[in-house]
Structure 1
Amino acid sequence: MTCLFVGLNYSFVLKNLTKMRIVQCEKLEIVFSTSILRCLPQLVSLHVIECKELKHFIEDDLEDKVFQSSNIYFPKLETLVVTKCDKLKYVFPVSICKEFPKLKVMMISEANELEGIFKSEFEIPPNLKVVVFAYLPSLCHAQGVHFHFQEVKYRLVHSCQKLSLTSCNDDEDVGYNIMG
């Protein structure tokens, strides 16, 4: 399976799905088709772990389209965790950069080819409290991570050689605060 939720537009109704955890889907290349985006209004937590072939969270054709709709596609998403997705270049395309009004936690680690979180500048979500970027050798400031990093309360950047963000907090202090 190279894409989850393949089907006709609006053929899926997942209106009550609050948590999605995708683990070890070795051949998965795309998490969401464009047709499924509107069908996840209650999604609060998204974890994608060890999907070695994952290239895109959202299928390519969305990247070049500008939505004419006022819909917010992830209105309740609070937690985004992405780990060990080596072929992923960007987490989200430009067209949904402002779709995270409730995002509180963003943890991304061990994605060797990841160049950027978003394909364009994006403003910091108003509720973002925790950001962790770890072991991302290709992630660089100039490609999609243009937000005011200092405004995030708990932040940790570790082993991201190309990333030019700085953190005021001590690594141990942040780790303790994140993990409890």
Structure 2
Amino acid sequence: MAVHGQQNGFLQGLKFVRVDDCGDVRTPFPAKLLRALNNLKELRLSCLPELKCIWKGPSRHVSLQSLNRLNLESLNKLTFIFTPSLARSLPKLQRLYIIKCGQLKHIIREEDGEREIIPESPEQDGQASPINVEKEIVLPNLKELSLEQLSSIVCFSFGWCDYFLFPRLEKLKVHQCPKLTTKFATTPDGSMSAQSEVPEVAEDSSINREWNRNMGWKEDGDSCL
């Protein structure tokens, strides 16, 4: 479908998208629609067996600055979620739920042919700006993170960023992720951190493991969420 000026104007006001049980959807946001996502607040995708990527095409100048919630479930051909440029445009993201995506290997990965060279940038208040983009990225407002039944996930980021910080995270679930090498740990000030690509599978990544800011870690089905 061609995207004309009038359609782009309509999509600029798009705030909520939900796509369920559509067998032929390969990508919900082709290249011509990416620039219309500035006001998108909530995205829910589930039971899309042919979906291979969420955002199609170059994403360097695309912003998800308003995105508050992202739910992904039963997307069996999806292998990654964000490019590095999109990961840096998430200052308002509060809830990220990823469930039953059998081929998902990384949360963040460079697209083929879109390798980025990114200079250091100082942290700005309220912005998801990396302190050192090769080593650390901050998602300043993420409050809930769930990774469940992801049989292929290996790490948060592939070949781009080693360390993630979630200063306002309140709830974390990691369930049945047997290949996950990303290690979650709290910092001295109580923030949650994630270190990608540690040498071996992270301890307890394949069993029920949950964390709550007020109650700490709970395991083996002892839910704290």
SS in 2 for 1:12: helix
Match for 1:154: what amino acid? K
Match for 2:51: what amino acid? L
Match for 2:170: what amino acid? K
Matches within 5 A, 1:34-73: 34-59=31-56, 61-62=57-58, 67=60, 69=61, 73=63
**Does 2:218 align with 1:170?**
yes
| TM-score (normalised: structure 2) | 0.64
- State which of 142, 147, 171 in structure 2 corresponds to 1:133: 147
Structure of higher CA gyration radius: 2
Kept in 2, the 8 Å contact 1:104–1:130? The answer is: yes
Kept in 2, the 8 Å contact 1:115–1:143? The answer is: no
Q: 1:32 aligns to what?
A: 29
Q: CA 1:91–1:142 in 2, change beyond 3 Å: closer, same or farther?
A: closer
Kept in 2, the 8 Å contact 1:56–1:92? The answer is: no
Matches within 5 A, 1:1-180: 6-8=1-3, 11-13=7-9, 14-59=11-56, 61-62=57-58, 67=60, 69=61, 73-119=63-109, 123-141=137-155, 143-144=157-158, 146-148=162-164, 151=167, 152-164=169-181, 165-166=183-184, 168-170=216-218, 172-175=222-225
Cα RMSD (Å): 2.4
Q: CA 1:39–1:137 in 2, change beyond 3 Å: closer, same or farther?
A: same
- If asked which structure has higher relative contact order (CA below 8 Å, sep 6+), I would say 1
Gaps of 5+ in 1: 1-5, 176-180
Gaps of 5+ in 2: 111-133, 185-210
Identity %: 23
Distance 2:17 2:93 in 1: 15
Structure having the higher helix fraction is: 1
**Which is worse superposed, 150-159 or 124-133?**
150-159
Q: 1:103-127: CA deviations, max 9, x gaps?
A: 0000001000000111167723100
Residue correspondences, number: 163
